[in-house]
Amino acid sequence: MSRPRYARFFKADLQMQTPADRAHWVGDGAKLPPAATDDQLVESARAYAQRCYEVGLDVVGITDHNLGGADGLRYLTALKEAFNSERGVNTPISLFPGFEVASSFGRNAHLLCLFDPRTPYDELSEVLARLGLPSNARFAGHRANPMTGVELDKFFDVVVREHNGVVIAAHPTERAGALNDATMEPDLQKSLICDQRLLALEIKEPRLAAEARSNKLAQVLRNSDEWRRPQPIAAVSSSDCKRLRPGDGPGSESSIGGRCTWLKMSELTIDGLRHAFLDHENRVRFEDPSLRPSIPFIARIKINGASFLGDQSINFSPDLNALVGGSGSGKSTFLEYLRSAAGVQPFHTEGSNSKSSAEATLPDGASVEVQFAETDGSVIEARLGPGGELTVVSPPDLSAHALPIRFPVRFLSQREVLSRASNPQSTTRLLDELCRDDLAK
């Protein structure tokens, strides 16, 4: 099942530990023995992937500390394969590889580094080596070592400029958090937080709730004078999971699906993630956007054998859509197909051609199929045949005559807009029609 190409919200958890991070994974489920075989890694990764699908995740950021030790890269490979093998009818979960690292500036503040899903996993090890953590110096026993000899600018230079990564400050107010005075001195905190290369903070409650508090984190999120950035920093909520499910194993650490964020992206790439953070007011949500009141929308059009547009298939976003093209590229014909398929009569002005584009450009054997999505999740399918003849394919009991009543939609051509603009009474009538339901309340 392929994803629509328009921007939509994806359920994301961008700070997740795996059983490969043995010092932090506490759950019994998917736990790995000290020297795991390939089969044990695969079995663990499959259980991990199954749980991600159970809680409905679309995007995961894997951030084991310092890549999780000897099995970290092997586990990433096994998990990526498991997301494909365990998906069933689901679209495969997109895996953003990365790591959690403790800074050498300040006193071991924890930072999350995420990279494009297409990044070779060996490259992650190279990034850590550039941060003063070669493969033989990443752990003291099971404890992850901090970076060595890497100042703030070099850190961002390596992660962001050289490897196109995204940096998030993990649990900033807690132990090892960047806003904790015991971890980082105030001046260094400001240098880090106000640096535009830091794109987001991790928080444990919705942003509005966090902003309403009277603490340092709230000041940062509100972009107050002391923490002023050209634009407020983004915030995300993540599980920092250390178990598959609640109650799996000792302690109270979070499990997969414990906290998450919905991110609006058109492509699941590191640039898409970066864009979501830079436009976080519109592209980051802390509650499921699908639970909000919805409106009906035109979902899809498929054009077959048309004289001018040929064969086309487009999925529409439930949000704003735009047709962009030069004069004569077919924008008006395209909209005319939608209008005719919705059963809406054209607005005729003096001198306008009474023959529609649908009639003129659909020869024998040509068709236009349009899907209309209703608020209850049902879909109306309509079909234009040769000469623009309209038929409702489904539901079977809906007639073409009743379609514009069941799915009322307004089409305004450029000619109609100009005509109504020159007639104040016509403009007033149009506005009254568009606002009829709101005026009746």
Each residue's pLDDT tens digit, 378-411? 899 999 998 888 999 999 889 999 998 898 888 8
pTM passes above 0.85: no
Average pLDDT, the chain: 90
pLDDT of residue 293: 53
Fold of domain 8-291 = TIM Barrel (3.20.20)
What's the whole-number mean pLDDT along residues 311-331? 86
State the Cα–Cα distance between residues 52 and 131, nearest whole angstrom: 31
**Burial of 34 per CB tally in 10 Å (0-12, 13-18, 19+):** exposed
pLDDT digits (tens, 9 = 90+) for 259-310: 999 999 999 999 999 999 999 999 999 998 877 656 889 999 999 998 888 8
Assess contact for 216 and 180: CB atoms under 8 A: no
Domain ranges of the chain: 8-291, 297-409
> SS3 for 392?
strand
Joined together, the tokens standing for residue 324 give: 């962009």
Q: Would the pLDDT of 354 be above 50?
A: no
Buried b (16+ CB within 10 A) or exposed e, 256-289: bbbbbbbbbbeebbbebbbbbbeebeebbbbeee
- To which residue do tokens 């890497």 refer? 150
Q: What is the distance between the alpha carbons of residues 215 and 211, in angstroms, rounded to a whole number?
A: 9
Tell me how far apart the alpha carbons of residues 221 and 305 are, in angstroms, rounded to a whole number. Answer: 53
Give me the percent of the chain exceeding a pLDDT of 90. 63
Q: If you ran DSSP here, which 8-state letter would residue 261 be given?
A: E
Query: What would the CATH number be for the domain defined by 297-409?
Result: 3.40.50.300
Q: Which residues contact 352 (CB under 8 A, 6 or more apart)?
A: 346, 415
Residue 350 banded pLDDT, cuts 50, 70, 90: very low
Least confident span in 201-210, 230-239, 312-321? 312-321
The label of the residue with tokens 């514009």 reads 404
Selection from 406, 387, 384, 386 nearest residue 395 by Cα:
406
Taking residues 34-52, report their average pLDDT.
95
Cβ neighbours around 388 below 10 Å, total? 19
Residue 188 C-alpha from the chain's centroid: 32
DSSP code of 179?
Answer: T
